[in-house]
């Protein structure tokens, strides 16, 4: 058993990524029931909505689950209070430092796993006495950092003494084994769970992932310092062209305003931002969450049996 499975009390070292505005109770409970760690996201929620979602997850599973806290949310203090009041066992954090909330969470014995994208951030989090690190490379969907998963994970494993969860560009059992070889204790996967029956996004979004190949995702927003990976479409191509002409932030913002909603609620494949990772090209069919996790873990076992040094 890897240290992350022991720490989180889960069967498999697989964490479902915090898919903003998407990860709600049916998906979260399905992942936890299948032996992974389901993660509920707080994006767009007020405190009562979060409380309701947490209670729904508890009705649907008796297994551990987590809440992903987006630290730049205006109502973040209220959301942290709800997490503590509802005795959520684990939190993942992003978009800032959890420093302010660590004493309150630790007092409640909440396990804290920040998402980071650089060695310097890993060292800062270790000094704050967090419990583990989710190390995300730029292969991931959504907001990304500058470094790729493979070199980033290895450097952070060497630089800290905390359990490391690798994220970004991991889509099957081969990827899981590769990250374990780097010294990670487990993986966080987001895109693979988008293409599941339990995921509440429109079928058109799921189909875009199924149809994707290795070159289907692009990164926009680099000129603004806020890069985002998503599936290429008409709108994002326009965005790239505007970036190349040094368009203002206002022009770029006007183009993408509401585009995430268009993707995850309306299923608009041309004007919506369908955030997904580079591994989209590995996904060829929509499965249940249980099928996804069984496939990944079975494949990983087979890969380990077949591994042999060529010298």
**Rounded Cα gap, residues 277 and 221, in angstroms:** 16
User: Measuring CA to CA, which residue among 224, 232, 244, 213 is closest to residue 273?
Assistant: 232
Close Cβ partners of 180 (under 8 Å, ≥ 6 residues apart): 2, 13
User: Measuring CA to CA, which residue among 89, 113, 77 is closest to residue 3?
Assistant: 113
**Rounded Cα gap, residues 136 and 121, in angstroms:** 12
From edge to edge, which strands make up the β-sheet containing 217-220?
Answer: 142-143, 228-231, 217-220
Contact criterion met (CB below 8 Å) for 268 and 256: no
- 10-residue averages of pLDDT along the chain (311 residues): 84 94 94 97 91 96 96 91 96 91 94 96 95 96 92 96 96 96 96 96 95 94 88 93 88 88 90 94 96 97 89 88
Close Cβ partners of 4 (under 8 Å, ≥ 6 residues apart): 10, 13, 132, 163, 165, 185, 186
Whole-structure pTM value = 0.92
pLDDT digits (tens, 9 = 90+) for 185-223: 999 999 999 999 999 999 999 999 999 999 999 999 888
Instruction: Report the Cα 219 to chain-centroid distance in Å.
Output: 17
**Rounded Cα gap, residues 168 and 181, in angstroms:** 16
User: Measuring CA to CA, which residue among 203, 143, 213, 148 is closest to residue 179?
Assistant: 148
Full set of structural domains in the chain with CATH: 3-198+288-306 (3.20.20.70), 203-279 (no CATH)
pLDDT of residue 250: 87
Give the count of beta carbons closer than 10 Å to the beta carbon of residue 154.
18
Number of H helices, E strands in the chain: 14, 11
φ, ψ dihedrals at 187, nearest 5°: -130, 155
φ, ψ dihedrals at 149, nearest 5°: -60, -50
Which DSSP helix (H) or strand (E) runs through 298? Answer: helix 289-306
**Rounded Cα gap, residues 149 and 146, in angstroms:** 10
Instruction: Name the one residue in this structure whose structure tokens are 């209670």.
Output: 55
Q: What is the dihedral of CA 207, 213, 216, 222, to 10 degrees?
A: 120
Beta bridge partners of 187: 14, 166
**Rounded Cα gap, residues 182 and 13, in angstroms:** 14
φ, ψ dihedrals at 68, nearest 5°: -90, 120
């Amino acid at each position: 058993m890897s240290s992350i499975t022991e720490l989180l009390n889960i069967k498999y070292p697989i964490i479902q990524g915090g898919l903003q505005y998407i990860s709600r109770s049916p998906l979260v409970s399905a992942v936890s029931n299948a032996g992974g760690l389901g993660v509920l996201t707080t994006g767009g929620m007020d405190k009562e909505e979060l409380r309701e979602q947490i209670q729904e997850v508890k009705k649907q599973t008796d297994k551990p689950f987590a809440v992903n806290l987006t630290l730049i949310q205006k109502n973040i203090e209220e959301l942290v209070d709800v997490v503590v009041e509802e005795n959520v066992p684990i939190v993942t954090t992003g978009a800032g430092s959890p420093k302010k909330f660590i004493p309150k969470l630790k007092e409640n014995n909440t396990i804290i796993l920040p998402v980071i994208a650089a060695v310097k951030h890993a060292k800062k989090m270790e000094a704050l006495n967090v419990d583990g690190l989710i190390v995300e490379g730029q292969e991931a969907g959504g907001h990304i950092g500058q470094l790729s998963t493979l070199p980033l994970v290895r450097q952070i494993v060497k630089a800290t003494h905390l359990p490391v969860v690798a994220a970004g560009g991991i889509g099957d059992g081969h990827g899981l084994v590769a990250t374990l070889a780097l010294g990670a204790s487990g993986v966080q996967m987001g895109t693979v769970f988008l293409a599941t029956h339990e995921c509440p996004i429109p079928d058109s979004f799921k189909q875009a992932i199924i149809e994707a190949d290795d070159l289907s995702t692009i990164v926009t927003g680099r000129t603004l310092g806020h890069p985002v990976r998503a599936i290429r479409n008409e709108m994002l191509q326009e965005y790239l062209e505007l970036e190349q002409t040094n368009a203002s932030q206002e022009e770029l913002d006007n183009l993408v305003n509401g585009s995430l909603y268009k993707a995850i609620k309306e299923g608009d494949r041309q004007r919506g931002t369908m955030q997904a990772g580079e591994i989209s090209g590995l996904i060829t069919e929509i499965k249940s969450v249980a099928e996804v996790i069984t496939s990944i873990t079975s494949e990983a076992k087979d890969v380990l049996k077949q591994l042999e040094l060529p010298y």
